[in-house]
Amino acid sequence: MMAIEQAIITWVHLVASAIWVGGSLFIAMVFAPVLKTLSPSVEDRLQIMIKVGRKFNRVAIPSLMILIVTGIYNAHQILIRPDFLFLTSYGVLLVIKIVFVVGLLVAFGVHVRIIRKEVEQKITAKQLSSAQIAKLRTKIIIVGQVTVGLSVAILFMAALLDAGI
Ligand code: HEM
């Protein structure tokens, strides 16, 4: 492959990574704390957060898919050599990165399932008790933190791969 083709694939991987990780961190570190000051009602805040999450998913999910496709492409030389994969530190780090990505997909899947349409409709129709709302909020926060944490851990794996450790 020509160097320019490799550069373009790395660039696409980096841009998708910026959208996914940057967007998740923005929601966690900027939007969530601002939202807390906007309304005293947990119900209102949850509804706004769900809206923002849905809109973010429209760019975040394609970015995650692009990361996986370009990542597999970046790694395919190594992935087709199982001996290399488990016998070199690069291979082991790559396997750990892939395990984290699988964990991320599971966490994100749980996150999306918790906030499915029917749950949102129940919140809008005020069919949930405040105890149910509080429980829902705690679940969303925990799974959200796991998702963001894994994303940042994946960046660390990428840094280790890049450093050739
Ligand atoms: C959330 C998902 C992911 C994020 C945020 C992410 C992020 C990054 C970043 C920032 C880099 C540094 C750019 C570079 O050095 O080329 C990178 C490199 C790389 N990524 Fe990913 N990546 C993700 C998923 C994947 C997946 C699923 C694979 C493989 C199946 C993968 C394989 C690679 C490889 C092989 C490199 C090159 C490392 C090197 O030797 O420098 N990535 N990734």
> Residue holding tokens 């906007």?
38
d(CA 109, CA 30): 23
CB 89 within 8 A of CB 165: yes
Closest CA to ligand 1's atom 20: 71
Q: pLDDT digit string (tens) for 3-21?
A: 999 999 999 999 999 999 9
> The whole model's pTM is what?
0.93
Whether 151 lines ligand 1, by a CB cut-off of 6 Å, is yes
SS (H, E, C) 65-118: HHHHHHHHHHHHHHHCCHHHHHHCHHHHHHHHHHHHHHHHHHHHHHHHHHCCHH
Q: pLDDT digit string (tens) for 89-115?
A: 999 999 999 999 999 999 999 999 998
- 52 contact partners, CB below 8 Å, separation of at least 6: 27, 31
Distance 49 CA to ligand 1 centre (A): 29
Q: How confident is the model at residue 2 (pLDDT cuts 50, 70, 90)?
A: confident
d(CA 17, CA 93): 18
Q: How confident is the model at residue 67 (pLDDT cuts 50, 70, 90)?
A: very high
Closest CA to ligand 1's atom 11: 158
Give the mean pLDDT of 67-90: 92
